[in-house]
A and B are shown apart, each in its own frame.
Chain A
């Protein structure tokens, strides 16, 4: 039995501890907002926060999550920075297919938590691990800058 905190709720799962957190979320907890894109920590679609840090849930075994706090895209509307980022995403019409955007938003929120006033280089550095095949990067960058500005206001 592996216990951890998911979006503020205690959860306990009796599954193979080698199961990646991604599949525990998607297959066992029906939390499908976190996406599968590569399974090798190469695309960032599965990004979640583990004790506040952005991690790739597709290569993070459940055993590494025991006793820790996990936050997913589903919790971002209850997070001040998460809300600001989601709002900026909508205002900048960022999404296209949208499949990578949960991961993009989780990476962006993590960036803004660590760097409330990110430089352009900070943004590029933090976001280059998240692939978007639709090519929404320009609007992602603008949305992050807008969210940072709004949070500073």
Chain B
């Protein structure tokens, strides 16, 4: 089952009753909205019931409803305020979603002002039934919704102008936030706003055809740049409320361990420390909350704590032992995820045996996790950059004994996330809620900001899971694959969470096998899975299962091509048997733009190729790598991208550049989270390596032209980069790198 379908089922099941649109909930009230955008004369909010959108094949039957002014407001001065119902954390929705709406509204782009929407029923993903950002779904799932909103609003302005002029609406045009009448009349939207508000919301609107787009598809600079280059942007960590305290948590060194004996006398003596108290933590753990006047006293207070931890009864994971255990598991029967007939494998002229190892990886967004709360007993107001508003709202409400609508979430701009802010257990927000509860129980009333340090972040779990793959392939002299036996060992991401029943089928977490089980290559495959339970919390990490599956598939296919004496691009096409034109188009574009096959590389340089589809988009890389002093270096990466219509080509380019760099990081020595006696060994960026400018390759991005409905681009640029680089290194050194990060020593 496809990821999105799974997520969708999950959303509807996990949140019973939550897809009632008009129950008020924590939705923005009309009054609150008008307060937000003073001077607004027109405001419109429409949203889709998932089932309606589905019945209509994706949104054509959108119906206006009673939820007012949730998405768009037009001020009398012409400002067009658009609510963005997704988290902006670098991926560009703050620009892309307004582009969709403004296109159909014919808004003057210079006067479009996005705002990040708070948690509210109106802001749920129309297909998922929950407010969320993830799965590279934002543009894809907002494509019809935001355009439809713009088209309906436009029709109301046209109707208002036509009424004023006594002409037919059909005789009017719109452009740059103005209605133009048949006889040269002209009325700016700001002037019409009050009248437009009196018009009925139309039941049916026609959306533009791609040929008529003036904004969608045009390289468009980000709307958040001015604030972000001047230091004015407010991220979650920058929130400041009157009287607010800063909280650091003293957490056990082993996941799930508990607070033993403790003494906070020295911590309390630190000037600025307001209180220290025990607090319940994620996964049954417990620790101490240090509350202070700002970060520095909190940090000093935390350092001054005397704490003994009770680690009895919790598994103390050791990376070396874990690998040995995974190897043993790989030799035993697992759950069968795909069961093609591979009986011909035994008769194959050639065999390829391979074993791959992938470590735990931390997301390590530049802005550490944080959550600011003001809890009054009846209401909890929260400022946080989260990818999962709906689930977090429920989770916090549960901790505080509140109804979800008593938990107000103000979505904050976030400094990266890569999946870490989309947590099924709402770990850091639930912990923050426990602190808020303890703080209030201790008689305090001030708001608190619970923040993490980088050490907390790297020690904090919810990593990309560690995996072991074992593959046995039989092939003949012409590269024909007779049998492909594949075993994956690694933790399920969703097992044990509320999402398990929906993302797991036959006990197999789809997120562990995506990218293999659905390979575009025609080959007989037998795929088995082991999902051991391990005391290390894991989570989706930019491109999820594809982070490791694409590496295995694309390096093996390259190796088979090489061993069969077939060009690696031609071999991929041979294996796809003409059934995957988007893969072929992306690959061809990367090949032609890179000069692969035409340009002769200098000595000690080599090409590497990989292609992979994730979240509906296909990305192919042709890379050029070199050996410098015996060490590999990625010099150049040419990307061919098929994401259907590229709504904002600048964003697509940025996402490819960024995903390529993040993938390059995974190859660098030191890009691994390892454990010894249950304790994470990496503390900060000195021991957890992230790509810096000095290893940056030249990245060249080319997009296959398309007018088909857009797919996501937040993640698909990541999976094929590391295998393309590894394939180049194999050509340079003869060594097939089967362990990440790379080690050529």
Q: With A93-B221, A93-B654 known to touch, is A74 a contact of B230 (CB < 8 Å)?
A: yes
> What is the CB-to-nearest-CB distance from B289 to chain A, in angstroms, rounded to a whole number?
18
Q: Write the nearest CB–CB distance from A81 to chain B, whole angstroms.
A: 14
Q: How far is the CA of A52 from the CA of B453 in the complex (A)?
A: 28
Query: Could you say which of A39, A102, A105 contacts B454, with CB atoms under 8 Å apart?
Result: A39
Decide: A99 near B235, CB < 8 A? Known: A30-B240, A76-B230. yes
Q: How far is the CA of A38 from the CA of B362 in the complex (A)?
A: 14
The reply on A4 being an interface residue by CB < 8 A is no
* A37 at interface, CB cutoff 8 A: yes
Specify which chain A residues have a CB less than 8 angstroms from the CB of B414 in the assembled complex.
97
Contact, CB under 8 Å: B295 / A95: no
Tell whether B604 is near chain A: CB-to-CB under 8 Å.
no
Cα(A91)–Cα(B221), bound, Å: 8
Question: What's the minimum C-beta distance from B226 to chain A, rounded to whole angstroms?
Answer: 7
Q: Judging by beta carbons under 8 Å apart, are A133 and B368 in contact?
A: no
Q: Which of B88-96, B192-200, B256-264, B374-382 contacts A (4 or more CB under 8 A)?
A: B88-96
Contact with B along A116-153 (1 / 0, CB 8 A): 00000001110111111111111111000000000000
Judge if B211 is at the interface, Cβ distance under 8 Å.
no
B229→A101 contact, CB < 8 A: yes
Confirm or deny: A80 has a beta carbon within 8 angstroms of a beta carbon on chain B. Answer: no
The answer to whether residues A36 and B368 also contact, given A86-B229, A97-B416 and a CB cut-off of 8 A, is yes
Interface residues in A1-53 (C-beta closer than 8 Å to B): 16, 18-20, 23, 26-28, 30-40, 42-43, 45
- Select one of B240, B659, B685 contacting A131, CB under 8 A: B685
Contact among A16, A73, A97, A101 with B271 in the assembled complex (CB-CB below 8 Å) = A16
CB distance from A143 to the nearest CB of B (A): 10
The interface stretch among B61-69, B533-541, B686-694 is B686-694
What separation, in Å, do the CA atoms of A140 and B235 have in the docked complex? Answer: 21
Chain A residues near B272: list those with CB within 8 A: 16
Residues of B within 8 A of A57 (CB): none
Tell me which of B88, B235, B654 has the highest count of chain A C-beta atoms within 10 A of its own C-beta. Answer: B654
Q: When the two chains form their complex, are residues B367 and A99 in contact, meaning their CB atoms are under 8 A apart?
A: yes
Q: How large is the interface on A (under 10, 10 to 19, 20 to 34, 35 or more residues)?
A: 35 or more
B 214-239 contacts with A by CB, 8 A: 221-222, 224-235, 237-238
Interface size grouping (class) on chain B: 35 or more
Which of A77, A138, A139 has most B Cβ within 10 Å?
A138
Q: How far is the CA of A33 from the CA of B292 in the complex (A)?
A: 22
Q: Which residues of A contact B228 (CB under 8 A)?
A: 95, 98, 101
Within 8 A of B (CB), among A52-107: 72-74, 76-77, 86, 89-91, 93-102, 105
Output the residue of A31, A33, A73, A89 with the most chain B CB within 10 A: A33
Asked if A97 and B230 sit within 8 Å, CB to CB, the answer is: no
Cα of A32 to Cα of B367 in the assembled complex, Å: 13
Determine which of B235, B296, B654 lies in contact with A20 in the assembled complex, contact meaning CB atoms within 8 Å: B296
Q: Is B500's beta carbon under 8 Å from chain A?
A: no
Within 8 Å CB of B418, what residues of A?
Answer: 133
C-alpha spacing A86/B657, complex, angstroms? 21
Nearest neighbor of A74 in chain B, beta-carbon distance: B231
Alpha-carbon separation in the docked complex, A142 to B293 (Å): 41
Find the residue from A39, A72, A76 having the highest chain B CB count within 10 A: A39
Please judge, given known A-B contacts A90-B221, A93-B222, A138-B657, whether A99 and B696 are in contact too, CB under 8 Å: no
B interface residues, Cβ below 8 angstroms from A: 88-92, 221-222, 224-235, 237-238, 240, 246, 271-272, 293-297, 299, 364-368, 413-418, 453-454, 650, 654, 657-662, 684-686, 690-694, 696, 698-699
Q: List 20 A-B contacts (CB under 8 A).
A: A16-B271, A20-B296, A27-B246, A27-B296, A32-B231, A33-B231, A35-B366, A35-B415, A43-B366, A72-B231, A90-B225, A91-B221, A97-B88, A97-B416, A98-B224, A98-B229, A99-B366, A99-B367, A128-B694, A130-B692
